Every structure is written in C-alpha cells, then in structure tokens.
Structure 1
C-alpha cells in the first residue's frame, strides 16, 4: 500500500484521506463495491440494543432507510468479513443507550482491524428521545467515560459529531484525554486539540474538498454526493493525490489573512504592521517577539534562512506556494530550492510553531 500521505490512527493506516461516511440503510458491503478507491469506508450506522433498534424501526416506518435486524451483531460481523482485506480502512458507526453493546461492537471492530465510530451526530427524534445521537454531546462526562471504556478494548475510536451544539473545543480536549483518536466533525475549522480531524461538510467537488483540507482537516468524508454518483470518490482521490504529489502538503492551511487556522502562521510576515496576524497570535497566546524568534531560529542553517530578493531578507517570512510572488520565486531559484522542497520546509516550520503553542490556552 502506498504511504504517500503517512496517515495513521492506532493500528489503522489510510491509503488516502478520502472517506465515505456512514449512511443508515445505505453504506453496507454491497455499496462498498462502488467505493473501493476510498481511504476509509464506514459501515452503518447500526443500532445495537433494543431501544435503538425500536427507534430504527420507527424511523424506517416513516420512510427513512435504516439497518433493521433481529441479530445485529451477526449482521455487523458478516459485513466486516465482506469488506475486510480489500486495501480500504473500515469503520463501523454505532449507537446504543448503554456502554455494554458498544463495547461488544468495539471488540468486533478490533477483531477485524476496523475502527469504532460513536454516532453523536444523528438528530432523528426517535433517537434523541432515548438519549442517543447528537444529544450525547450535552453530557461530556458520560461521553468521556464511554470513550475510556471503549479504548480499554484496544479499538481505534472515532466520534462523529456536529459543531455548535456545545463548546466543541472544551468537549474535544476532554475526549482527547479520555483516549479519543479521531473526530469526524460536520463543519469546517481546526480546533484546539491534537486529534486527527476528519471533516464532513457536504463535500461535492474539488472546491469544497480543498476548502475542507485548507481548514485543517486531515481527512474529508462524503455521503450524499456518493449516493448521487459514486465515481466522485475516485475523482476526489485523484485530485488529492495530484495535490500531494505536486506540493507534499495536500491540506496546507490558507493564509491567516484569508481565514487560515494557526498552522497558517508559517506563511506570515513579521508581526510589525497592523494586520490579522496579531489577532491570530492573541488567539494562540503567543508573544509576537517569541513568534519571530521561533521562525528565525527554525530558518537557521536551512534554505529558508536566506532570501536577498524577498521583502524581509529571509524566506521564513514568505507566503503560500499558490500565491505568485516574483520576489520569493527569485530567491528560490537563486538558492536552487524547488517548490516541493520549499513547501516541505514550511510544513516543518508550521509544526515547530504549533509545538510552541499551549493548546489548553488557545482562544476559540
């Protein structure tokens, strides 16, 4: 398997950052056959206990698709057997009113090298009435305990959620401490946690995919667009691969002045003028002088240290690769620095900046 992206979570390796999200009653082993180019395919969602299964039956009775079964664990294992070993990372999206059935599902997922995804996303009234789905976000202590219990099985745990329901950053910081591996979030934007981020916000083409990547998502997922035409999976995978091969940083952030997340500080000029960098540094609780020292110290001994033709005499202060700048390009040529090498250094610089930011103090 290619390791073009170096994307991992526990025992799982993702060959590309494009996922097919779970859609109840739809994403089964048969639908998987149309999505084999994905890096991650999530089966489900599955209702694991009597209350959630009765809710699923009620939802199905009013015309929505659901996976209804009298032996749900046999169904899940049968589906896992059919999709495992095909080169695509697999997950199962589940819901239950208590931890017991979820732990059983986690053990099953671990057995087949899959991840377990907690469904804290569903807004159907029948699920909300029994404390399942989106309403789970409102009891973060209970959710953290659930994550800890699931992690005791050794399974990779993902949480599928919507933003704006609660204080997302406070929740995710707690869940990260509880052991959560991945957050599958229905929105754009990178929060103050170290979790692998998996963005889902109506991805329907190259532009929306790139917007999600630039917002900080390590992975993106698609649902409705795949139903409309499964070929979109292969198309977005190819687009992402082209971006990675050309630049080496498929999810590079936007400039701070264009709404980029804190990784975008790597593209910033010195903090000497009144511009959005000061707001970003305040968010990061990072002193402007310290920020400047981080960048200059990183540049020492690297090709970024120089830049006689640039605005500030060093390429550590130069902008993003997709912005044409004859000054930067002149210095790159002068120092035999190609675009991919420039981006690789800027990516390492962003990691150095982030390493110096206390995530607990980031203002969101």
Structure 2
C-alpha cells in the first residue's frame, strides 16, 4: 500500500541506463534518500533492443543474466544508507515477477519502466509503449504486487492519447504503491496525478534548484528526483538543501488525504 513508500530526504536519484549502478548510488547517498538503479532489460526482446541501442552508442546494462545482476547490485549496497530500487524493462511478464522477488528480498522497490521512448524499445512493447497498453501495464503491476514487493511505475507526461490521471488510478487499483512522473514541460501534471490517486508521487524533470523543488512540492509531490545531473555533487547538494528547507512546505493548493506523505 502507498504507506509502505518512505525515504528521507525526499530526494531520489533517477535511473540512467548503463550508468546507474551500485557505485553510482553509493556516491549519491550523501544527498539522496533513494536510488533507482537501472534501467535494465530483463527478457530476450528487451535485451535485443538494448543491444541495438548500444550499437548506436547508448550505454546499457547487458550482463549475461540480469536477475543475478540485480542480486549483486543490491548486495553491494547492503551497507549504504539509501533506499534501493531497480528500474526494469520487459516485453513479457514473467521476468517482472522474477525481478520483483529479488527486490522484495532486499526490501528494495521495483520500478516498471513505462518511460523510455527509444524506438528500439517501443517496437518490442517496452518503455513508453506500455503507456498506450494500460491493461498490460496493469497486469505487470498486479503480477509484481503479488510477490509482496513495493512496486511502482516510471511514466512520462505529454504522450499523445495518454491521460496520466486515469492511468495512475488504474495502476493504483492494480496494486501500485508509487508513481515516478517525468513531467516533461508540463509540471502541473503532478497536481493532476496527486488529485487522482493516493499513490506516492515522485516528480522528475528539471530538478536543479530550490525553485524547481518548490514548484513540484506545491503541486503535491511527495518527493523529487534528479536524473542526468545525479552524478554531479554540486547539483545534488543544492537540491538536497532545498528539499531540507522546504520539507514542511504546506501543499494546501492541492490537498489530499493520503498517509503516504513523508514530509
């Protein structure tokens, strides 16, 4: 349930494919309360897509077997004071359950990737393609939730034909605990999601300073996340300081009754 999601400070490191591993999370633990490792492709089709991405000079995690890779990465964070999570991609449902059980055993969060928009991934039914296939995405969430893991979804705003408020209600009904929203250029979408559900809401995109943190918190986000600059200590220090200063910020403009709030 949403109340199971909690990390302090309310700042997460967002996954960077091929870069966000245990060493990356360890380096950011001084500033952040959670780290979303990955993304990692789990099944044959998503791994083939990831290899095609590497061929055009993108970085990807492509271990021989992704499930033991998750285990090793979590084990490497056993002594790090940060909430671990893993962002995963799969064109089929069974590997989602396998990854969920590993995350569950480490008290880590599982984040289903419905966010990546590269054609290679979307063509095989991963990433953003899942936003347009809400029934299949809900099945992924339901299957993961059945393992007892804390599960959420990384989503993207501004996808034609996708209403995030409706989608997140469906994900909540399927058993999701949180949603990680890349707001793109529509920061106010956070308020729409907050009003629609009791999910724990992590706001992402452009989080760099106190102004951006304040805007997302005023829209009702429970936490914010830093993506590309997550390996930049100067940015992380600035955002962490802003989260600390604004931690008691009233969100009366967009109230809700959820007990999942961490401020």
TM-score (norm 2): 0.88
Counterpart CA distance in 2 for 1:87 and 1:33 is 9
5 Å-filtered alignment, 1:132-171, equals 132-165=126-159, 166-171=162-167
Q: 2:96·2:143 contact (CA, 8 Å) conserved in 1?
A: no
For residue 235 of structure 1, report the CA deviation from its aligned partner: 2.8
Q: Does 1:186 find its partner at 2:182?
A: yes
For residue 236 of structure 1, report the CA deviation from its aligned partner: 1.8
Runs of 5+ consecutive residues of structure 2 not aligned to the other structure: none
Aligned partner of 1:19 in structure 2 is: 12
Counterpart CA distance in 2 for 1:76 and 1:175 is 24
Q: 1:121·1:161 contact (CA, 8 Å) conserved in 2?
A: yes
What RMSD over aligned residues (CA atoms) do the two structures have, in Å?
Answer: 1.8
Aligned partner of 1:81 in structure 2 is: 75
Aligned partner of 1:213 in structure 2 is: 217
Q: Does 1:198 find its partner at 2:209?
A: no
Aligned partner of 2:170 in structure 1 is: 174
Aligned partner of 2:112 in structure 1 is: 118
Q: 2:214·2:246 contact (CA, 8 Å) conserved in 1?
A: no
Please give the secondary structure, in 1, of the residue aligned with 2:28.
coil
Counterpart CA distance in 1 for 2:74 and 2:3 is 19
For residue 234 of structure 1, report the CA deviation from its aligned partner: 3.0
Aligned partner of 2:40 in structure 1 is: 46
Q: 1:203·1:225 contact (CA, 8 Å) conserved in 2?
A: no
Q: 1:43·1:92 contact (CA, 8 Å) conserved in 2?
A: yes
Q: 1:27·1:44 contact (CA, 8 Å) conserved in 2?
A: yes
Counterpart CA distance in 1 for 2:3 and 2:241 is 22
Counterpart CA distance in 1 for 2:6 and 2:164 is 26
Of structures 1 and 2, the one with the larger relative CO (CA 8 A, separation 6+) is 2
Counterpart CA distance in 2 for 1:41 and 1:108 is 16
Q: 2:26·2:80 contact (CA, 8 Å) conserved in 1?
A: no
Q: Does 1:129 find its partner at 2:123?
A: yes
For residue 128 of structure 1, report the CA deviation from its aligned partner: 0.7
For residue 84 of structure 1, report the CA deviation from its aligned partner: 2.8
Aligned partner of 1:106 in structure 2 is: 100
Please give the secondary structure, in 2, of the residue aligned with 1:83.
coil
Aligned partner of 2:242 in structure 1 is: 239
Please give the secondary structure, in 1, of the residue aligned with 2:102.
helix
Please give the secondary structure, in 1, of the residue aligned with 2:6.
strand
For residue 9 of structure 1, report the CA deviation from its aligned partner: 4.3
Q: 2:22 aligns with which of 15, 22, 29?
A: 29
Q: 1:209·1:236 contact (CA, 8 Å) conserved in 2?
A: yes
Which has the larger Rg? Answer: 1
Name the stretch that deviates more: 232-241 or 31-40. 232-241
Counterpart CA distance in 2 for 1:243 and 1:172 is 26
Q: 2:229 aligns with which of 205, 216, 225?
A: 225
Q: 1:69 aligns with which of 54, 59, 63?
A: 63
Counterpart CA distance in 1 for 2:133 and 2:26 is 37
Q: 1:60·1:66 contact (CA, 8 Å) conserved in 2?
A: yes
TM-score (norm 1): 0.65
For residue 51 of structure 1, report the CA deviation from its aligned partner: 1.0
Name the stretch that deviates more: 148-157 or 137-146. 137-146
Q: 1:206·1:236 contact (CA, 8 Å) conserved in 2?
A: yes
Name the stretch that deviates more: 31-40 or 111-120. 31-40
For residue 215 of structure 1, report the CA deviation from its aligned partner: 1.4
